[in-house]
Chain A
Amino acid sequence: MLTEILRILESDSRTTTKQIAAMTGISAAEVTKLVKQAQKDRVILKYKAVVNWDKVEDERVWALIDVKVTPQKDVGFDAIAERVYRFPQARSVYLASGEYDLAVLVVGKTEHEVANFVSQKLATIEGVQGTATHFILKRYKEDGEILEEVEEVKRQQVVL
């Protein structure tokens, strides 16, 4: 049942407790209990909106940074990853397989700001061997949501 509630909240975090209760067939009190526990267990971290920033006048520059690091004894990649994810500029940090080790999604107000962050903060962390910066030119899909306007498909109003 928790998985079902999480799926509902993942697709629309504004679904109310009452609505979830109706959608799952369990009581509102039970939903509240499960959601509270999930928050406590950090299964649910936060309730956020998926925003298309391109539609509002908010200048943001996004970049994907590949980071090559030397893993450290005992802690592997985790200690360096922590030094990276502590920075608020790093929106998402993943350990990835392949040529590079960490994939970091960075956001800043200007290209200059992002470049500065990479050259002065990221690249200088001990154990970081090198970085490759890919500025994001256009966002098509965000968290499963397609950003461009999609034409509404009209269904027939009555089909028997």
Chain B
Amino acid sequence: MIIKPRRESRKKRGLISSPVSRISPSGIRKFFDLLASIDGVISLGVGEPDFATPWPLCESAIRSLEKGYTMYTSNLGMPELRERLSQYLEDTYSPKYDPASELLVTVGVSEALDLTMRAILDVGDEVIMPDPHYVSYDACVILARGIPVMVPTSEENDFEVSAADIEARITNKTRAILLGYPANPTGAVMPRGKLEEIAEVARRHQVPLISDEIYARLIYGVEHTCLAALPGMKESTILLGGFSKSYAMTGWRIGYAAASKEIISAMTKIHQYSIMSAPTMGQVAAIEALKSGGDSVISMVEEYNRRRLVIVKGLNEIGLPCFEPRGAFYAFPSIKFTGMTSEEFAERLLVEERVAVVPGIAFGQCGEGYVRCCYATSLGEIEEALSRMKRFVDRHQVA
């Protein structure tokens, strides 16, 4: 690739670029360091399934290695995977995407998100997103020299983001609205009606939507609405998804982007130079997931739901009021009555009772006053964590 040399004078600055300097490795570094020094911790801090990848998926990947499938694949991803993915998306909740030009297989949604931002943002462009949100959202925008614009959400509104609040933040610099429902860290799911209102705002202002639907299959008693499936929204929505959460495949690193030919071809340019192709054996396992993994997803969702009911009820009973999460595998209880910040709460809970939760502040200013408790862990551990947390809460009741 040929790029023109930059002509501007070299200003004196440090070795690291300003966007990278601007983002912290994690908002809660101190907490991570503390965690590493303590033994016997029950962790509700892990954002991934505790199940191993269903065996048939592993087995197909092992076989593929034995057969010599160890080379790069097409930049876009294996044709069979894209074909099956196209069919799967159409059969489940999304519109039909052309496997040859509208789907790109990525290294998890993480890469897909990064590619999206790099493909669409110029310096200073704005991306509107809810607060709290998954930690990569603002980081990817900043790394692509953009500006994240926060829309506050609150427990009172079920952590749903409103069309009016989004519209109020649209400027001539707005390049996209980024949503991620079912949500990490809150477990919130947006009802169809509210998504339609947002789609209407996006259409009116001609702002594309980016929808991270990695948790689409992990929903409880509600229906998932795919933003791209709303009338007329396919062309202006960049749909991101992946295999990690629903098929318990986090370590395989397989995600995808589904969007217009123009967007996918722009993303593919970056992908081909920075990644080449997603891991081949992961793609093989993903094909098997689409072929035979459906029942495993159903039984894992059933198990998550049992745990969800236990942890939400338990948190409320021990005095940590908890909004009812309808998706993903997180509970997001309020800790406001303790008078502690979320970071203080998490640190003291870790030191005093050896339970790890993630301070809500890690996910944005509106996450302050909450902690994220992941229930993708065994029921025994959840029950033990709840009883430890009860002791902690009882001790720290503010009179």
Contact = CB atoms under 8 A, between A and B. Distances in A.
Chain A bound to chain B: yes
Contact of A157 (B46, B307, B313, B379): B46
B306 A8 contact: yes
Interface of A: 4, 7-8, 19, 22-25, 153, 155-160
A156 B309 contact: no
A157 B309 contact: no
Contacts of B135: 160
A160 B309 contact: no
Interface string B28-57: 000110011000010101111010100000
Q: Which of B36, B45, B134, B135 has the most CB of A within 10 A?
A: B45
Interface string B133-177: 011000000000000000000000000000000000000000000
Given A158-B31, A158-B45, A158-B358, 11 more contacts: A4-B302, A22-B313, A22-B314, A23-B379, A25-B309, A155-B43, A155-B46, A156-B46, A157-B46, A158-B32, A159-B48
A136 B48 CA distance: 40
Nearest to B317: A22
The 8 closest A-B pairs by CB, nearest first: A23-B306, A158-B45, A159-B47, A22-B310, A157-B43, A160-B135, A25-B309, A159-B46
B322 interface: no
B41 A157 contact: yes
Interface of B: 26, 31-32, 35-36, 41, 43, 45-48, 50, 52, 134-135, 302, 306-307, 309-310, 313-314, 356, 358, 362-363, 379, 383
A145 to B, nearest CB: 15
A144 to B, nearest CB: 12
A158 B313 contact: no
B40 to A, nearest CB: 11
A19 B383 CA distance: 10
Nearest to B305: A23
A3 B134 CA distance: 36
7 contacts: A19-B310, A19-B383, A158-B32, A158-B35, A158-B46, A159-B48, A160-B47
B309 A153 contact: no
Contacts of A8: 306
Given A155-B46, A155-B50, A158-B45, A19 B358 contact: no
A113 B127 CA distance: 77
A160 B46 CA distance: 7
A4 B362 CA distance: 36
Contacts of B43: 155, 157-158
Contacts of B356: 157-158
Given A4-B302, A153-B52, A159 B314 contact: no
A158 B46 CA distance: 5
A156 B47 CA distance: 9
B47 A19 contact: no
Contacts of A160: 26, 47, 134-135, 358, 362-363
